[in-house]
Structure 1
Amino acid sequence: MSVFSVLKQIERNIEHCTRAEKMVAIYVLENPARVMEMTTKELAAACQSSEAAIMRFCKRIGIQSFKVMKLELAKELHANGEGTSEIVDSPFQLEDDPKLIMKKVMFNTIQALRNTEKMISVKTLSESIEKLHKAERVFVYGVGGSAIVVRDFAQKLLRINVNVFRSDDSHLQMVMTANATKKDVVFVVSTSGKTKEVVNMLTIAKERGVCCILLTQNGSSPARRLADLVLTMSEEEHNLRIGTMTARIAQLAIIDALFVGLCSIRGQDVFERIIDTYQVVQRLKK
């Protein structure tokens, strides 16, 4: 069964590390079993870094403390010792048969969800829910694969009577954002955080003093620097991606968490609206 992989998180995020953090990362990758027995002071001396850099490094890969990282390392090394399939945990190949493809898809999906669960900040999630709850209007936007996730979120918000605005036309979305006020929220989904349209959208919103919430993968990006709140998912796919599959699943899970959290704040009335909208849609099936 797929588990959270510390070593893979390090490999995916090493390019985003500072020089001091990178020294820690390289040492952990090369000596995972030895690190399990070390204190932060011993690790700092071994990799010629500092205890502060070790703590920053842990948070960069979605772990809150060095102690937790050692526990996750122990679980991962134990699982590998029991024979976790390296075949399933590998890139897709042209010769893969349907059974192996299904196993790889399921493995990667579960891995992405568990990695994102470690990476996401509960504090930021709570603040985002509160901002969405208080907003007079919510403007949602995404490009390409992210547009699918945004469309799902918009539909959910409409079901609970949130004033949500979305358009696949980037020019029209710019116009709507230009009319946003400080009482509104702009919610953007961007896997890379580097898409030109997304950066332009956030720039306009910032100029108007509008609260900007960004859902993106771990790592530095122009969009991340512009957003007020950043919901960080694990970096599962980079360089050549096949339809951003695992990224999309992780994004949808975070969207669901935001929606359920919003429903909880709004109380019983919101569930009556969900029932009402469900009954209206059912008329189309008769």
Structure 2
Amino acid sequence: MYSVLGQITQMYDTFTPVEKRIADLMIDQPVKVVNLPIKEIAKLAGTSEAAIVRFSKRLGLSGIKVVKVELARELHTIDTEKKPSKIEFTDSVEVLKEKVFNNSIQALYNTEKILSPKLIDDAAQAIIKAKRMMIFGVGIAQVVGEDFRLKLAQIDKLAHLANDSFTAVSMLGNFEPGDVLFAITSSGRSKEIIEVIKYAKKQRITIILLTQKVPSPALRMADIALAMAKEENEIKVGTMTVRIVQLAIIDAVYLRIGSIQSEAVIKSLTNVNNAREDIQDAQ
């Protein structure tokens, strides 16, 4: 189940002072928020109705009515629903297993709720139309990028993969307007990601960004932002749920490409399967 309170907690440090007042109200008095009209919610938070609507959209939802529906659903199941929990190295094996699976499931629910199908379609269409494509990611994002590169290769869509800004910019020098940079980042604030995106913007390359839904320089420059729900970024355990959600979004884009170009994709996958069978027979 999508968690309004969970998203507010995760995003709290990125909120403006006005947004924090609204967030505090929703955390401290969720029942009132569910039952009051927007005018009264704004009055309690000491802000305007427009600010309430903007805050709802910051959470990835279309407006306060949707926030109230999701919040009511969350309050109804709050005693029985398993919530994400901070992982500790002192946890037992049983507790670790439960937390890892539960946190991953919740992260997927949260992003499924806020990610627009249109953005998935836009990303797929841009990739199909592009003559060239480069996937850029540093650190763990490179692992996600390699997964996407291999999937695309199976359907005869070749993409370069770069994991440092020098290599990325060197490759992008030969790209043309309409070609695609698919950038993967957790925060959207790293020096390398910003440097590469700025260069792509200058070259009028289409920028598809896979990142978390928090304000960042990269998010502001992206043409198509596949923004996932805000997840953990703990120093001790890293960004486990972020990686899982990124892989799920990539699968959605890949399958959308397949549905648009079904005949060609089926032919490519058949060729790949035949090649694998030939290798197995030879062994």
Length-normalised TM-score, structure 1: 0.92
Q: Which moved more, 1:242-251 or 1:124-133?
A: 124-133
Amino acid in structure 1 at the alignment position of 2:59: I
In the TM superposition, residue 241 of structure 1 has moved relative to its aligned partner by 5.4
Name the SS of the counterpart of 1:136 in structure 2.
coil
In the TM superposition, residue 52 of structure 1 has moved relative to its aligned partner by 0.9
Name the SS of the counterpart of 2:135 in structure 1.
strand
In the TM superposition, residue 117 of structure 1 has moved relative to its aligned partner by 1.0
CA contact (8 A) 1:121 1:232 kept: no
In the TM superposition, residue 279 of structure 1 has moved relative to its aligned partner by 2.1
- Distance in 2 between residues matched to 1:43 and 1:150, nearest whole Å: 43
The aligned residue for residue 122 of structure 1 is 117
Name the SS of the counterpart of 2:61 in structure 1.
coil
Amino acid in structure 2 at the alignment position of 1:280: A
The aligned residue for residue 95 of structure 1 is 90
Aligned residue runs from structure 1 range 184-199, under 5 A: 184-199=179-194
CA contact (8 A) 1:192 1:216 kept: yes
Q: Aligned in 2, Cα 1:18/1:94: closer, same or farther, shift over 3 Å?
A: closer
In the TM superposition, residue 45 of structure 1 has moved relative to its aligned partner by 1.3
- Distance in 1 between residues matched to 2:247 and 2:256, nearest whole Å: 14
Name the SS of the counterpart of 1:231 in structure 2.
strand
Indicate the percent of aligned positions where both proteins have the same amino acid: 37
Aligned residue runs from structure 1 range 1-286, under 5 A: 3-81=1-79, 83-85=80-82, 89-168=84-163, 170-240=165-235, 242-285=237-280, 286=283
Name the SS of the counterpart of 2:276 in structure 1.
helix
- Distance in 2 between residues matched to 1:158 and 1:106, nearest whole Å: 30
Q: Which moved more, 1:165-174 or 1:145-154?
A: 165-174
- Distance in 1 between residues matched to 2:178 and 2:236, nearest whole Å: 37
In the TM superposition, residue 43 of structure 1 has moved relative to its aligned partner by 0.6
Alpha-carbon displacement from aligned partner over 1:7-53 (angstroms, at most 9, x marks no partner): 11111122333333322111111100111111111111111111111
Amino acid in structure 2 at the alignment position of 1:194: R
- Distance in 1 between residues matched to 2:32 and 2:238, nearest whole Å: 38
Amino acid in structure 2 at the alignment position of 1:10: I
Q: Aligned in 2, Cα 1:130/1:190: closer, same or farther, shift over 3 Å?
A: same
In the TM superposition, residue 170 of structure 1 has moved relative to its aligned partner by 4.2
Amino acid in structure 2 at the alignment position of 1:217: Q
Length-normalised TM-score, structure 2: 0.93
Alpha-carbon displacement from aligned partner over 1:220-239 (angstroms, at most 9, x marks no partner): 11211222111101111135
Amino acid in structure 2 at the alignment position of 1:38: L
CA contact (8 A) 1:149 1:252 kept: yes
Q: Which moved more, 1:127-136 or 1:276-285?
A: 276-285
CA contact (8 A) 2:137 2:162 kept: no
Query: Which runs of 5 or more structure 2 residues have no equivalent in the other structure?
Result: none
Taking only aligned residues, the RMSD between alpha carbons, in angstroms, comes to: 1.7
CA contact (8 A) 1:191 1:217 kept: yes
Aligned length: 281
Q: Which moved more, 1:184-193 or 1:218-227?
A: 218-227
CA contact (8 A) 2:209 2:225 kept: yes
- Distance in 2 between residues matched to 1:170 and 1:204, nearest whole Å: 10
Query: Which runs of 5 or more structure 1 residues have no equivalent in the other structure?
Result: none
CA contact (8 A) 2:165 2:195 kept: no
Q: Which moved more, 1:44-53 or 1:248-257?
A: 44-53
- Distance in 1 between residues matched to 2:81 and 2:223, nearest whole Å: 40
